[in-house]
């Protein structure tokens, strides 16, 4: 029988302290109650956080301290420190902002914007909205990773719970059909509202357990078990039941370093992601006068129309440029075309054809005096790189190419550019 305990008040504080190293370790209240929002504690220390900035690198190095807030240690805390791919909690201590939380040797350091007197009894308050969102993402990640491991044998070799998205790296690739299957099974587990248990097995019990873990763990191992969905070593707070995770949505799953990288949104983030996409669909629906469920078809239809228009436009450009080519004489030393809008391929073709009609330098400039010009310059008899160099120097341009053709961009007026040609 496993020595299991839920994340509730019933957890023995002394056994929780055993998880940390050293008698000075901070009491981790988030292990007793992951849903706790407020707590009281005593300030054990408060030190100014200073980052050394190197001013010189000689035989004797000098440095100047840059103040970056304060590090506060409490005897007990609900703030979860950064670790395991997850940022540290934020919140307030007696109304003073806690910007980050870190742990070292069992001691949790709260980074604050102002000092707090040592010995003071204080009230701590989590940014619970963000804490709960992170628990949703983290538990959702466990569920997906457990299902992928069970179905396909892939390991989660990388996990990042960021401010905007959550990513997991697996050492194997998944097809789009497999991703959809995994997503469906994970959401089914949400609907089943399975208890999320926290286990503290003995060494003997641990040896017989089949659990996921990316690293070797010394001391007491904390196991998060979600029914038959997943069993994984983890130190982070989690929701109490899978129903709290809300919807689990796979945003993307792409090839990555021989495996795949999956991006997900859970709970409140999934809802916000859906809202943003729905707003986008609604905007397109209104613009195209199409029902939202037929937006995809409407966009494809518009793309077909645009492709046809583009073909007609290219034909018109080709006809127009053919007329410009007829104006070129064999003894022209400079051919210079200015247009506000032209397809880049059409411009290149024009310069190539113009170079066959005369022995001089042929150039085309597309743009306006206000926005600048992109250019293509060519010649069948002259190295145009020297001319392009003068052009770039005169008009703050950039670009380059081969002796027979260069391209680039510049800022200047048409009249000034034509003067350089003249």
Closest by CA position to 220, among listed 239, 237, 201: 201
pLDDT at 217: 75
Are the beta carbons of 207 and 164 closer than 8 angstroms?
no
For strands 334-339 and 361-368, give the pairing. parallel
Question: Which range is least confidently modeled, 52-61, 127-136, 234-243?
Answer: 52-61
pLDDT at 168: 97
Q: What is the fold of 37-126?
A: Elongation Factor Tu (Ef-tu); domain 3 (2.40.30)
Q: Which two tokens stand for residue 9?
A: 């008040």
CATH (residue range 132-280): 3.30.980.10
- Residue spans of the domains in the chain: they are 37-126, 132-280, 326-421
Proportion of the chain above pLDDT 90, given as a percent:
81
340 CB-near residues (< 8 Å, 6+ apart): 366, 367, 368
Average pLDDT score, the chain: 90
Closest by CA position to 170, among listed 86, 254, 264: 254
269-296: per-residue pLDDT in tens?
999 999 999 999 999 999 999 999 999 9
291 CB-near residues (< 8 Å, 6+ apart): 285
For the domain made up of 326-421, the CATH class stated in words is alpha beta
354-386: per-residue pLDDT in tens?
999 998 899 999 999 999 999 999 999 999 999
């Amino acid at each position: 029988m496993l020595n299991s305990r839920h994340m509730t008040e019933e957890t023995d504080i002394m056994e929780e302290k055993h998880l940390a190293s050293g008698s000075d370790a901070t009491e981790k209240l988030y292990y007793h109650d992951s849903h706790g929002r407020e707590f009281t504690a005593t300030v054990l220390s408060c030190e100014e956080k200073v980052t050394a900035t190197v001013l010189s690198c000689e035989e004797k190095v000098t440095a100047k301290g840059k103040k970056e807030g304060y590090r506060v240690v409490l005897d007990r805390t609900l703030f979860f420190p950064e670790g395991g791919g997850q940022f540290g909690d934020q919140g307030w201590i007696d109304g003073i902002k806690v910007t980050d939380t870190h742990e070292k040797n069992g001691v949790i350091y709260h980074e604050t914007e102002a000092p707090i007197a040592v010995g003071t009894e204080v009230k701590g308050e989590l940014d619970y909205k963000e804490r709960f969102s992170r628990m949703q993402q983290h538990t959702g990640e466990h569920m997906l990773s457990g299902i992928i491991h069970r179905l396909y044998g892939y390991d989660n070799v990388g996990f990042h719970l960021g401010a905007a998205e959550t990513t997991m790296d697996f050492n194997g690739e998944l097809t789009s059909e497999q991703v959809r299957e995994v997503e469906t099974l994970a959401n089914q587990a949400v609907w089943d509202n399975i208890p999320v248990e926290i286990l503290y097995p003995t060494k003997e019990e641990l040896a017989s357990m089949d659990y996921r873990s990316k690293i070797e763990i010394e001391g007491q191992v904390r196991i998060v078990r979600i029914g038959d969905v997943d069993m994984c070593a983890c130190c982070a707070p989690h929701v109490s039941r899978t129903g709290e995770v809300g919807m689990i949505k796979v945003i993307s799953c792409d090839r990555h370093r021989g495996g795949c990288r999956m991006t997900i949104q859970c709970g409140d983030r999934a809802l916000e992601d859906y809202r943003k996409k729905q707003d986008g669909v609604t905007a397109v629906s209104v613009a195209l006068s199409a029902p939202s469920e037929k937006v995809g078809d409407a966009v494809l239809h518009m793309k077909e129309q645009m492709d046809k228009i583009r073909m007609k436009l290219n034909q018109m450009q080709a006809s127009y440029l053919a007329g410009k080519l007829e104006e070129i004489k064999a003894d022209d030393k400079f051919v210079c075309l200015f247009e506000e809008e032209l397809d880049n391929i059409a411009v290149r073709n024009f310069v190539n054809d113009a170079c066959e009609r005369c022995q001089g330098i042929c150039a085309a400039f597309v743009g306006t005096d206000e926005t600048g010009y992109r250019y293509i310059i060519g010649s069948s008899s002259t190295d145009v790189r020297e001319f392009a160099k003068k052009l770039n120097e005169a008009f703050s341009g950039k670009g380059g190419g081969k002796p027979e053709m260069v391209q680039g961009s510049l800022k200047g007026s048409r009249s000034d550019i034509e003067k350089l040609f003249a």
